[in-house]
Amino acid sequence: MRIEASVKVLKLTVNFRVVKKGFNLTSYLKRGEYSNFERYKKITNIVSTDNYPLLLMEFSGSDPNLRDLNLKLRIQVNSDVTLDFEFVENKLPRNLVLFNLSGINKLSIKIEAVKFKIRDKEYKEVSSNTPIEYDRSYFDTFDDKSKIENYHFLTNYLHETFIFRGILLKMAFKNLEEITTNRSFSFKGKKYVYSNVDDLNRIKSLIQIEIVSMMMMYIEDLVILLESNRLNKNFYELLDINSENEIDVGKRIGKFFNSMDRFTSRDWRKILCYVNSNDPYCSPSVNFVLRKNIKAVKNLMKDIESFSKSHHRIFRRFKHAGFPIRYAGNMNLSKFFTLRSEFYSSIFVGNNILNDLAFLPYSEGIIESYLILITTLQFFLKDVLLFRINCILRNVRGIIPSENFLNPYEAIKFESRYIGDCEKFDLFHPKKFFDVNVVSKLNDQYLKEMTWYTNFEVNRKKWKEKGELTRKFSQEYKMN
């Protein structure tokens, strides 16, 4: 599990992370500061234990030419003692181990000042960052332990699933570009050539539907996350049907889209993890910016709804049974579609396979529209994930986001006041990073159901024999 909180300063991101004992200190230890902190613990009779966590500081910069880093930290220990540390590095380090946290109940870290150079240009910022807090007993204050699970799942989704699903989409777009350009692809040393235009279009059509399906999965994740925010529930609670009163994911998503016009401003603030309008830190400038943000999100959600409803029948068929999809060639559907398309695919979506057909058009412009939407969708999904994680880290129901959708005129009028209000809110509700150990337990029943893997070595010889028979009795062994 990642235990962390980040601060972004100018072109530098400083990430604080708790790691367990056993972390390799060889190349990461900043010995002076580490030793000073240990001396302080001895003077104040703070007892270190064997099973200690370490506080790690990680750096990432947007420019590889970042040099001459000077970073000043102010650290408050156990709410009563303040210590100052300064780090000077010629090159941007990857990691620095700060302290052994054993015996420390609470720790508050504030970046007092930072400066560095990029290509001889100096950047500096002073006292502009809000504190980040470590609280060993932080989650003991929660009456709802599901917040721990939600934090665990959401951070895992953000750092794992979200990133690699995006990579799979890039691979699908790359495959489509490659087969469109070369009219062929290679697999295990064999080249598959599609000189016939109809055969080439069939492959392009199926890759298009695969891309659409991956985008639909992103939309499913987004809507379930937004709905879990609205209901203040765990994200994963809404994925499975555990009682007769619950609805499945598809119907839940449809219900959310159909209800969007009836959601109140209060609903949208819950959905986006925004602070409530009656919060003492919700000034007129904050309320104005959040109203603008909500309006922009509503417009984006209408586009997402349009894409979802245009493809939900196709996605359902592709997900559950690929055979109802058929290449339909170049049809004249100008009565229904105003766009110019190269060809269409037909998908059987109803009970009558001759009449209940959905048609999916293909063109370069359509593929480009997917790329535009997926980029916007990914940014929005990432923001909502971070907002919900931030709420957990700050132990609040809503935050004041740093992002805004102000036009240039509005930015001149409101932005400086809005930034000041954000900093006040952050000071009163600092991020906390914490040491919490989530232990996953094996479920024997689930493992027993995975017979493909549990009996793998036993069946492997049998599968190889079947493969040899296939090659022996086929006139031509190829992948179609």
Cα 68 from Cα 88, distance rounded (Å)? 7
Cα 429 from Cα 443, distance rounded (Å)? 38
User: What are the respective helix, strand and coil percentages of the chain, to the nearest 5?
Assistant: 50, 20, 30
Cα 456 from Cα 453, distance rounded (Å)? 5
433 or 87, which is more confident: 87
User: Which tokens is 176 given?
Assistant: 């489509």
460 contact partners, CB below 8 Å, separation of at least 6: none
CA distances from 236 to 225, 241, 251, 274, 363 (A): 9, 11, 16, 21, 37
Single-letter code of the amino acid located at 225: L
DSSP string computed for 62-110: S-TTEEEEEEEEEEEETTTEEEEEEEEEEE--SEEEEEE-TT-SEEEEE
What pLDDT is attached to residue 256?
A: 93
- 438 confidence band (pLDDT: 50, 70, 90): low
What pLDDT is attached to residue 148?
A: 72
Element (H, E) at 307: helix 284-320
DSSP for residue 349: -
Q: Could you tell me the domains of the chain?
A: 4-136 (2.60.40), 146-430 (no CATH)
Cα 465 from Cα 474, distance rounded (Å)? 14
Neighbours of 341 (CB within 10 A): 18
pLDDT, tens digit (0-9, with 9 covering 90-100), for 115-129? 888 888 888 765 555
Has residue 375 got a pLDDT over 70? yes
Has residue 50 got a pLDDT over 60? no
DSSP for residue 234: -
Strands of the sheet containing 357-362, edge to edge, are 325-329, 343-348, 357-362
468 or 231, which is more confident: 231
Q: What does the mean pLDDT of the chain come to?
A: 78
Q: Which of 187, 139, 151 is nearest to 2 (CA)?
A: 151
- 475 confidence band (pLDDT: 50, 70, 90): very low
Cα 301 from Cα 227, distance rounded (Å)? 13
Q: Which of 162-176, 219-233, 427-441, 451-465 has the lowest mean pLDDT?
A: 427-441
Cα 357 from Cα 313, distance rounded (Å)? 10
DSSP string computed for 243-268: STT---HHHHHHHHHHHGGG--HHHH
User: Which tokens is 422 given?
Assistant: 């954000």
